[in-house]
Amino acid sequence: MISNKLSRFNLQSENLNEKVMTRINCYPLLAILLICSISATGQKTKLEVDVTHSIAEIQPTMYGIFFEDINFAADGGVYAEMIKNRGFEFDNPKMGWQQPNSNSYGFNKKSGIANIIKSGTDTSSNNFCRVSIENDSGYVLINEGFRGMGIKKNAKYRFSLMAKNSKLAIQKVRIHFVDETGQVLGECSITPAARDWETYTATLVATETNPKVVLKITFEGTGVIDLDNISLFPVNTWKGRENGLREDIVQLLADLQPGFLRFPGGCIVEGRTLAQRYQWKKTVGPLWDRTLLINRWNTEFGHRPTPDYFQSFGLGFFEYFQLAEDLGAEPLPILGCGMACQFNTGELVPLADLDPYVQDALDLIEFANGPADSPWGQVRNSMGHPEPFNMKYIGIGNEQWGPEYIERYAIFEKAIKEQYPDIVIISSSGPFPEGDFFEYGTSELKKLDAEIIDEHYYNTPEWFRDNATRYDDYVRGGAKIFAGEYAAQSVRTTSPENKNNWECALSEAAFMTGLERNADLVVMTSYAPLLAHQEGWQWTPNLIWFNNLEAYGTANYYVQKLFSNHRGNELLAISTFDGKVVAGENNLFASSVKDTHSGEIFVKLVNTSDKKKQLEIDIKNQKLAGTATALILSSDQLTDENSFENLKKIIPQESELSTINNQLSLEIDPFTFMVIKIGLE
């Protein structure tokens, strides 16, 4: 298995030829749920929940979000900028821009032409575009957006650019939304009145809804004008912020009520090379000073090349902290530890040269938590957040393994704990949840008194069902567990044929009952990856899919949501009448929690079989209110999925149950996950 996973990046044509694994279990789903009527012939499974016996506190961080800029998650995704390559900084600085009436090999007397000027010594952040217009009726500059631009009828869009009109040769710059037939669907203009660099803004109102317009820029006047940082955002971003995030996508995140937000990844933390690692200091401060970097997923998979994938860092560390705050989630930044991705170059910083990396971690804590007049607190303050972000957790290394990691981790741990003893450090057990790397890493980390160890599992749906008991026998008393990245793979890890199908989601639900039953040990969990653009993705499956107009939650998303929205704060035992945990016997899985604030208990039940099950749940030692509500997630076929064509094929359905003599009797349909909310008297 390990060798299979070791080759998971840079897989090329091999994957293209892979056939979709068929898991067609076409059992019809009968009625969604039949309530309170136990068939006279059926065999009943009797379960009991002892409400007075709380086994452990459920941490508010139990269910969270893993965010990585993969699949156009940030640029082209939740970061609402609609212009691709707005600062002309991509490796090919005109990528994303077209001049249909210009010819690089001519004088363009009937139009004009743009050239990229590189100024200064920093070749990656000083480009601008010099447009020379010979004939203003012929010259056109077009930005194609991220696989087009999605616009909504009557919505407003804020356009801005920087221009230097040295000789005042250009009187007007006109901006238009244009559809594929050339029809204009909204326009505005600016008057570039200054001879030196100046920022201009204008608002476009879309006259139609269209998923794929482009932005056309035309000019009045002949001569030269310099342009830079050409930007376009919907006015309606999340919380109306100008450098904002897509409202619909953030709303889906907010609906999860996440306990934490892990950022910025994922492998993106480490980089394919050390030079391409994520450097948080380059992502904060004034927007236009942030240095663009190639996205590591640009070239990662030969079968899903994305040559136009770069990181503008418009969504940088400040914005991640702000998003965590908006979501009521604990911020959990993960920092590189002097190791490039071990699936790629694995470049190492010598131990003697590790200081700047360690200093990055210490400075980040000051950026997040330091007083507004401390050196890094000042940067946060200058960005509009004088109050600290109260960061409690930091991750050192993403998916690192081997002695090289342990010796680097130890240096970080010592430095951080000396200065900030209360910060909880997350460490990595590597990419696999078993095997040599895992055994070695976890045992060495325990010697270092690691507090929370991050485990990752990308595996088959069967693995998830079989591993619902994974943590039952883990040794307690040492490090806690962060299930930091997991997702069932319908074909295999990194296969482009993986689907967000019901079998995967249901198997994750079964596994999650095991996470929850062990909430004394497992204190953080997150599905990965989070977001994917319908046309710009590299990795599948993902929790949420979007295009330029719409976003939807997968069946896996609703599994996460049901667990997270019903996390409770006390873990209760749910068992068979002979005292066994419900973890796969007869294809049933269960966990149970209490919410002392709302006075409810939440029972999670998963039936992974093709047979309807009859259950009797005895609630012991606490009087129940008369009714209960079941939130049921189910689908006819294990191959079913939500999609842009059917956004809500698999979403929770609500049904009322009644309790008699402190008992619930119910039937659970084949292939069904449900949360039962039971009110206590």
CA–CA distances in Å: residue 453 to residues 46, 442, 525: 36, 8, 11
* Rounded Cα gap, residues 246 and 79, in angstroms: 6
H/E stretch holding 293 reads: strand 293-294
Please say whether the dihedral angle defined by the alpha carbons of residues 544, 558, 569 and 574, taken in this order, is positive or negative: negative
Instruction: State the nearest-atom distance from the C-beta of 398 to ligand AHR, in Å.
Output: 5
Instruction: State the nearest-atom distance from the C-beta of 674 to ligand AHR, in Å.
Output: 28
Q: Please say whether the beta carbons of 448 and 412 come within 8 A.
A: no
Q: Which residue number places its CB atom closest to ligand AHR?
A: 266
Written as six digits, the tokens of 377 are 């607190």
Instruction: State the nearest-atom distance from the C-beta of 353 to ligand AHR, in Å.
Output: 25
Nearer CB in complex with ligand AHR: 539/589: 539
Nearer CB in complex with ligand AHR: 230/274: 274
* Rounded Cα gap, residues 605 and 631, in angstroms: 10
Query: Does 87 engage in binding with ligand AHR (CB under 6 A)?
Result: no
* Rounded Cα gap, residues 628 and 517, in angstroms: 22
- Contact segment (CB under 6 A) with ligand AHR among 262-270, 463-471, 643-651, 655-663 equals 262-270
Instruction: State the nearest-atom distance from the C-beta of 485 to ligand AHR, in Å.
Output: 5
Our measurement of the distance from residue 625's CA atom to the centroid of its chain's CA atoms, rounded to an integer in Å, reads 39
* Rounded Cα gap, residues 652 and 675, in angstroms: 10
Nearer CB in complex with ligand AHR: 288/463: 463
Nearer CB in complex with ligand AHR: 159/539: 539
CA–CA distances in Å: residue 517 to residues 51, 55, 470, 510, 603: 14, 9, 11, 11, 11
Alpha carbon distance, N-terminus to C-terminus of the chain: 50
Nearer CB in complex with ligand AHR: 532/664: 532
Q: What is the DSSP string of 318-360?
A: HHHHHHHHHHT-EEEEEE--SB--TTTT--B--GGG-HHHHHH
Instruction: State the nearest-atom distance from the C-beta of 399 to ligand AHR, in Å.
Output: 4
Nearest Cα to 330, choosing from 263, 245, 239, 393?
393
Instruction: State the nearest-atom distance from the C-beta of 678 to ligand AHR, in Å.
Output: 36
Query: Does 488 engage in binding with ligand AHR (CB under 6 A)?
Result: no
Out of 234, 266, 314, 553, name the contact with ligand AHR by CB under 6 A: 266
Query: Does 554 engage in binding with ligand AHR (CB under 6 A)?
Result: no
SS3 16: helix
* Rounded Cα gap, residues 377 and 109, in angstroms: 54
Binding mask 575-594 for ligand AHR (x = CB under 6 A): --------------------
Nearer CB in complex with ligand AHR: 266/333: 266
Nearer CB in complex with ligand AHR: 93/529: 529
Query: Does 68 engage in binding with ligand AHR (CB under 6 A)?
Result: yes
Query: Does 398 engage in binding with ligand AHR (CB under 6 A)?
Result: yes
- Contact segment (CB under 6 A) with ligand AHR among 260-268, 308-316, 466-474, 614-622 equals 260-268
Query: Does 529 engage in binding with ligand AHR (CB under 6 A)?
Result: yes
Instruction: State the nearest-atom distance from the C-beta of 235 to ligand AHR, in Å.
Output: 32
Nearer CB in complex with ligand AHR: 256/267: 267
Nearer CB in complex with ligand AHR: 178/334: 334
Query: Does 65 engage in binding with ligand AHR (CB under 6 A)?
Result: no
Instruction: State the nearest-atom distance from the C-beta of 377 to ligand AHR, in Å.
Output: 30
Instruction: State the nearest-atom distance from the C-beta of 436 to ligand AHR, in Å.
Output: 18
Dihedrals phi, psi of 524, to nearest 5 degrees? -150, 140
Query: Does 508 engage in binding with ligand AHR (CB under 6 A)?
Result: no
SS3 462: helix
Instruction: State the nearest-atom distance from the C-beta of 332 to ligand AHR, in Å.
Output: 14
Query: Does 524 engage in binding with ligand AHR (CB under 6 A)?
Result: no
Largest Cα separation within the chain, whole Å, is 91
Written as six digits, the tokens of 184 are 């204009």
Our measurement of the distance from residue 579's CA atom to the centroid of its chain's CA atoms, rounded to an integer in Å, reads 39
Instruction: State the nearest-atom distance from the C-beta of 357 to ligand AHR, in Å.
Output: 19
Out of 360, 363, 399, 508, name the contact with ligand AHR by CB under 6 A: 399
Q: Which of 270, 399, 508, 667 is catalytic?
A: 399
Dihedrals phi, psi of 407, to nearest 5 degrees? -70, -30
- Contact segment (CB under 6 A) with ligand AHR among 71-79, 247-255, 261-269, 388-396 equals 261-269
Instruction: State the nearest-atom distance from the C-beta of 434 to ligand AHR, in Å.
Output: 16
Residue where the block lists tokens 């191959």: 639
Query: Does 528 engage in binding with ligand AHR (CB under 6 A)?
Result: yes
Q: Give yes or no: 81 in active site.
A: no
Which residues within the stretch 468-487 sit at the binding site for ligand AHR (CB under 6 A)? Answer: 485
Query: Does 539 engage in binding with ligand AHR (CB under 6 A)?
Result: yes
Query: Does 265 engage in binding with ligand AHR (CB under 6 A)?
Result: yes
Written as six digits, the tokens of 62 are 């139990």
Which residues within the stretch 339-378 sit at the binding site for ligand AHR (CB under 6 A)? Answer: none
Query: Does 670 engage in binding with ligand AHR (CB under 6 A)?
Result: no
Q: Please say whether the beta carbons of 44 and 674 come within 8 A.
A: no
Q: Please say whether the beta carbons of 596 and 58 come within 8 A.
A: no
Length of the chain: 681
Nearer CB in complex with ligand AHR: 494/592: 494
* Rounded Cα gap, residues 451 and 78, in angstroms: 32
Q: Please say whether the beta carbons of 119 and 126 come within 8 A.
A: yes
* Rounded Cα gap, residues 175 and 161, in angstroms: 11
Dihedrals phi, psi of 6, to nearest 5 degrees? -60, -25
Nearer CB in complex with ligand AHR: 379/531: 531
* Rounded Cα gap, residues 326 and 318, in angstroms: 12
Dihedral of CA atoms 241, 306, 430, 363 in degrees, nearest 10, equals: -40
Cα angle: 178, vertex 179, 183; to 5 degrees = 70
- Contact segment (CB under 6 A) with ligand AHR among 48-56, 265-273, 321-329, 447-455 equals 265-273
* Rounded Cα gap, residues 323 and 553, in angstroms: 19
Which residues within the stretch 160-219 sit at the binding site for ligand AHR (CB under 6 A)? Answer: none
Nearer CB in complex with ligand AHR: 316/431: 431
Query: Judged by CB under 6 A, how many residues of this single chain contact ligand AHR?
Result: 12
Query: Does 541 engage in binding with ligand AHR (CB under 6 A)?
Result: no
Nearest Cα to 65, choosing from 544, 431, 496?
544
Out of 47, 267, 488, 504, name the contact with ligand AHR by CB under 6 A: 267
Q: Please say whether the beta carbons of 503 and 23 come within 8 A.
A: yes
Query: Does 431 engage in binding with ligand AHR (CB under 6 A)?
Result: yes
Q: Please say whether the beta carbons of 619 and 662 come within 8 A.
A: yes
Catalytic residues: 399
Instruction: Report the interface residues with ligand AHR, using CB under 6 A.
Output: 68, 70, 265-267, 398-399, 431, 485, 528-529, 539
